[in-house]
Amino acid sequence: MNAIAQNDIPALMADIGRRAKAAAAELAQAPTEAKNAALLAAARALRDQANAIQEANAIDMAAGAQKGLSKALLDRLMLDPGRIEAMARGLEDVAALPDPVGTVLARWDRPNGLEISRVRVPLGVIGVIYESRPNVTADAGALCLKAGNAAILRGGSESFHSSGAIMEALARGLTEAGITPDALQRVPTRDRAAVGEMLTMTDTIDVIVPRGGKSLIARVTNDSKVPLFKHLDGICHTYVDAGADPDMARRIVVNAKMRRTGICGATETVLVDSAVAASHLPGILDDLIAAGCEVRGDTETAALDNRVVPATEEDWGTEYLDAIVSVKVVDGVIDAIDHIARHGSQHTEAIITNDAQAAETFLNRVDSAILLHNASTQFADGGEFGMGAEIGISTGKLHARGPVGVEQLTSFKYQVRGTGQCRP
């Protein structure tokens, strides 16, 4: 790579792609112990090099402040000893997960004596394109590695030095454990052309996981020739059915919206059955407003509470990621399902009801990755599902849907064992 000019982006990326593909072939055969040893050594290296990582982060933070990044963005960018320790523990957690590679997913015999097995294998090379959080470098890299994949990581330019320092620690860990550092590579330039190049590398990248805001996702979706695990909006709904227990509805709605407003599983729209709007909705509005939430409601909701701001048509399709919620009165579960089909993003929706039939209708008919009955949409999370860490929540329907953990970062192949069979 030393021979390639850092500004010759196509040559640079082609070289990274070739190295990743070779590393993926090696990793596909790596025993679980070697992958785990690499993850644990990388965790140790992160701790050992915590000072260097913080120094690199200070450069990014100073540049970010000078550039006028928002307080929220600067907070995402910041690395302190606690966050570095959390990254190291994250690597250890991934090491502790079961290795999905080699699992026999199904096995059956054919009348002609052929024995067919479907066996889990790594996907190959995974590209990850993300924004300012430097910890994604370690978190996403670890998940790809555990599933036997090579990763090409492309973080936001604001976190360039931080990600570079983290990557140096990861590379040291890999090398210590005898795994090629090409298994986890970072794009070593801030030039945005590198992203455009990645999106065309169909010969060397098997799938790209974009993580970030709408404009990043839109650009990647529009330009990519490489398949994507789509992570679109989380316009999540909580529907309070006629059969809902009013106290449970209050607790779940406030949790679903306000526990953390910035995550993709946060509820953005509350739908309330007209049969219980008068009885259940005032308490829900009280709780939301008391928790500091702005409520934008339709006419019927606004009529119940003068603190409610009138909602516009745009509100029904908005992912606020903030202490704002839209509220609408609907005519029963079918009307709620129709509203979600029109305005939702196929991410996560919940129904609150003690009516089992309404619940099953909702769980079966709504076309989203995750449907919940009598639980908060904030459970839309790989950890909460028991999958360990996740690289994101996929709203696409191909391959990975919902939380994308190590298992979702694998493929499979068929192994057929015979005794000389020819096809008649």
Name the site residues for its own copies (rule: CB under 8 A): 25, 28-29, 108, 110, 114, 116, 121, 123-124, 202, 206-207, 221-222, 225, 227, 245, 248, 251-252, 255-256, 259, 341, 359, 363-365, 367-376, 378-379, 384-386, 396-399, 401-402, 411-423
Axis-axis angle for helices 81-96, 135-146 (nearest 10): 10
> Contact, 362 vs 336, CB < 8 A?
yes
| Other CB atoms within 10 Å distance of the CB of residue 386 | 8
Q: Closer to its own copies at the Cβ: 91 or 125?
A: 125
Q: Least separation, in Å, of the C-beta of 419 and its own copies?
A: 6
Supply the minimum distance, in Å, between the C-beta of residue 148 and its own copies.
11
Nearest approach, Cβ of 88 to its own copies (angstroms)? Answer: 24
Q: How many CB atoms lie within 10 A of CB 71?
A: 8
Nearest-CA neighbor of 270 among 260, 293, 292? 293
3-class state of residue 256 by DSSP = helix
Residue 45 C-beta: closest distance to its own copies, Å: 30
d(CA 229, CA 217): 11
Q: Are 80 and 162 in contact (CB under 8 A)?
A: no
Closest by CA to 165, choosing from 60, 17, 8, is 60
Name the strand (E) or helix (H) holding 324: strand 324-330
Q: Which residues does 337 contact at the CB level (< 8 Å), separation at least 6?
A: 361, 362, 365, 366
Q: What's the min distance (Å) between Cβ of 128 and its own copies?
A: 16
Nearer CB in complex with its own copies: 50/359:
359
Nearer to its own copies, 2 or 108 (CB): 108
In DSSP terms, 122 is beta-bridged to: 410
Report the residue number, 28 or 289, with the smaller CB distance to its own copies: 28
Taking the complex as a whole, the smallest distance from the CB of residue 181 to its own copies amounts, in Å, to 22
Give whichever of 71 and 413 is closer to its own copies, judged by the CB atom.
413
Angle, helices 160-176 vs 50-67, to 10°: value is: 160
For residue 306, the minimal CB distance to its own copies (Å) is: 28
For the bound state, the minimum distance from the C-beta of residue 284 to its own copies, rounded and expressed in Å, comes to 14
Within 10 Å of residue 2's Cβ, how many Cβ atoms?
3
* Residues with Cβ within 8 Å of residue 369, at least 6 apart in sequence: 346, 347, 348, 380, 393, 394, 395, 401, 402
CB of 324 to its own copies, least distance (A): 20
Task: Specify the residue, 4 or 121, whose C-beta has the smaller distance to its own copies.
Answer: 121
- Which class for 263: exposed (0-12), middle (13-18), buried (19 or more C-beta within 10 A)? middle
Nearest CB to its own copies, comparing residues 73 and 387:
387
Q: Under 8 Å CB-to-CB from 400, ≥6 apart: which residues?
A: 229, 394, 408, 409
State which residue, 68 or 386, has the beta carbon closest to its own copies: 386
Nearer to its own copies, 44 or 412 (CB): 412
